Structure 1
Amino acid sequence: MQSLKLIAPHLFFFACLFYVFDPTESQNIIYSYCDTGNNYTSGSVFEQNLNLTLTSLASNASLTGFSTTAIGQNPNTVYGLVLCRGDVSQQDCQACASTASIEIIKQCSNNNKEAAISYDNCLLRYSDRRFFSTVDSSPKLMLYNVNNVTEPVVFNRQLGNLLRNLSSNAASSTSKFSAGQTNFLDFQYINAMVQCTRDLAGNNCSNCLQDIIRYIPQCCNGKEGGQVLSLSCNLRFEIYSFFLLSSPPPPSLVQPNSTSQDEKKSTSKVIVFVAIPLAATMVVALIVCCCFFWRNGKKKRVDTDPDQEGSMATLDQWNSYGAIGSSAAG
């Protein structure tokens, strides 16, 4: 009984720690798209090819962060694509792709022949028609931060310049991804990233990004952050750092205090495996659990702290401006 009393604080600490570093937190669905115009029959050859396609995409996603496949013969050919966010680790890419390959069938449960599902870390898509190298820039979802910037004219000018530079970099790179930041006000930055699917040619990637940038005045004008997501490209901007890399790729200035997801995981492992004296453990447990309650309280508010981690796991801090032919799921 005495030994149980001694280890109880440790167990409490580890329970809180597991919640704080829960890896499933980034696996919230941003949107799912199910084309209701065409359906397949359960047990059909198309369904068999679809299952093989999803298995292939989930297996190959983490190799390069991008994979396409076509399985079967017409009229039962299934075309599939998976794209991981350009700054996620192989492990997170694999986890996201595996989850997406399962959830897309659940989300589109009416045997849809064309569907897509998007998470913060990846996008997975399949269809009965060949869509590779074809631009689809129609926004499936647009999101905005509820807070307004203090200097919208300056902000919009700086954001426009940053997105143009990032778009140019992404279009000319093999990764079709670019992230960076620029000055906004004293000690404040605009952070942004853009990405295209890697099957697009450079000019098609550039055109896709230009198309979705034009939607910013509709969804996010004067807002502290926003996202525009289409099947072929997407963008995001914030006044706080949300990059999963230890530092954003150029163009960038000195990045304010940021902690990458990998650093968090490393920290959690160190804390778990290093022996901590009982008194120190209880103090750390108290701090961690205070952070837990503080973080949950923040999620219930609509305001966004500039120092907050930029994960779409906090979708309840965002409002959906619109969804075209899709549904958002949280």
Structure 2
Amino acid sequence: MTTPSGYMNMAVPIMIIWLLIILSLCSEAIPEYRYHVCPNTTTFTPNSTYQSNLNQLLSSLTSNFTRDTGFYNISVGQDPGTVVYGLFLCRGDVTITVCQECLTTEAKDLVEEYCPTEKVAVIWYDHCMVRYSNESFFGRMDREPTVILVNTRETADPFQFDQLVQVIVSMNDTVRRAMDASTVKLLTVP
């Protein structure tokens, strides 16, 4: 027969486990750094007009995190050579709180740690990305910078993952065949 003190000995570990589960469910994800690019080809002088415009741009980006789309772009400045173009993008599955925390962390890390005097920079975290430049890149597809990030974690269901990959390969093959079709046959009804 179990004594009252025996129940207490079992209750303490159960309460600790319960508390840890609740805390893990309630806590927001900490932004996780992935990669950054800041080519040292163009730099600005500290305390310059460009730096002032960059600070305004980053402030505007981090204060507009509540956009429904998780995306925002802006340019700051008037004079050629001092205009800064920038944008942010948050993953579609993150909360506004996570987006804000990620953007704030990225903006701070870019100017303080990774790219303190570069006019061009991109930084990726797990939940968001920030990019700025002294040249407009809005509405233009750039192939650079290119970064390939590899997921080293195991999939929870390898069979389901393989099925999904096969569906994607099949769709890509169908698109390729449609684009490569040299002639299109039209059906006419007599």
The alignment's TM-score, normalised by the length of structure 1, stands at 0.41
Residue 50 (structure 2) pairs with residue 31 (structure 1): no
1:70 to 75, 83, 92: 75
Find the counterpart in structure 2 of residue 44 from structure 1.
Answer: 48
Structure 2: gaps (5+ residues): 1-11, 175-190
Question: Aligned partner of 2:38: which letter?
Answer: C
Question: Aligned partner of 2:28: which letter?
Answer: P
Q: Secondary structure at the match of 1:63?
A: coil
Structure 1 Cα separation of the partners of residues 40 and 117 of structure 2: 9
Residue 100 (structure 2) pairs with residue 100 (structure 1): no
Q: Secondary structure at the match of 1:69?
A: strand
Cα drift, residue 33 of structure 1: 1.1
2:168 to 146, 152, 159: 159
Q: Secondary structure at the match of 1:61?
A: coil
Residue 131 (structure 2) pairs with residue 125 (structure 1): yes
Cα drift, residue 90 of structure 1: 2.0
CA contact (8 A) 2:71 2:87 kept: yes
Structure 2 Cα separation of the partners of residues 164 and 60 of structure 1: 40
CA contact (8 A) 2:115 2:121 kept: no
Q: Secondary structure at the match of 1:124?
A: strand
Q: Percent identity?
A: 27
What are the Cα deviations for residues 169-226 of structure 1, in whole angstroms up to 9, with x where unaligned?
xxxxxxxxxxxxxxxxxxxxxxxxxxxxxxxxxxxxxxxxxxxxxxxxxxxxxxxxxx
Find the counterpart in structure 2 of residue 145 from structure 1.
Answer: 152
Relative distance call for 1:19 and 1:150 in structure 2 (3 A) is closer
Residue 86 (structure 2) pairs with residue 80 (structure 1): yes
Structure 2 Cα separation of the partners of residues 152 and 51 of structure 1: 43
Cα drift, residue 21 of structure 1: 4.8
Structure 2 Cα separation of the partners of residues 129 and 161 of structure 1: 39
1:1-330 aligned within 5 A? 14=19, 17-18=22-23, 21-25=26-30, 27-64=31-68, 65-73=70-78, 74-138=80-144, 139-145=146-152, 156-161=165-170
The alignment's TM-score, normalised by the length of structure 2, stands at 0.68
CA contact (8 A) 2:120 2:132 kept: yes
Structure 1 Cα separation of the partners of residues 172 and 25 of structure 2: 33
Question: Aligned partner of 1:142: which letter?
Answer: L
Relative distance call for 1:55 and 1:141 in structure 2 (3 A) is same
Find the counterpart in structure 1 of residue 177 from structure 2.
Answer: none
Q: Secondary structure at the match of 1:95?
A: helix
Structure 2 Cα separation of the partners of residues 151 and 13 of structure 1: 31
Structure 2 Cα separation of the partners of residues 79 and 54 of structure 1: 10
Relative distance call for 1:125 and 1:153 in structure 2 (3 A) is closer
Structure 1 Cα separation of the partners of residues 67 and 162 of structure 2: 43
CA contact (8 A) 2:61 2:72 kept: yes
CA contact (8 A) 1:57 1:68 kept: yes
State the superposition RMSD in angstroms: 3.5
Q: Secondary structure at the match of 2:166?
A: helix
Find the counterpart in structure 2 of residue 289 from structure 1.
Answer: none
Structure 1: gaps (5+ residues): 1-7, 166-330
What are the Cα deviations for residues 47-96 of structure 1, in whole angstroms up to 9, with x where unaligned?
00000000000111222211111001211000010011122222222222
CA contact (8 A) 1:32 1:107 kept: no
More strand by share: 1
Larger Rg computed on CA atoms? 2
Cα drift, residue 12 of structure 1: 8.8
Provide the aligned length of Structure 1 versus Structure 2. Answer: 159
Question: Aligned partner of 1:105: which letter?
Answer: V
Q: Secondary structure at the match of 2:73?
A: strand
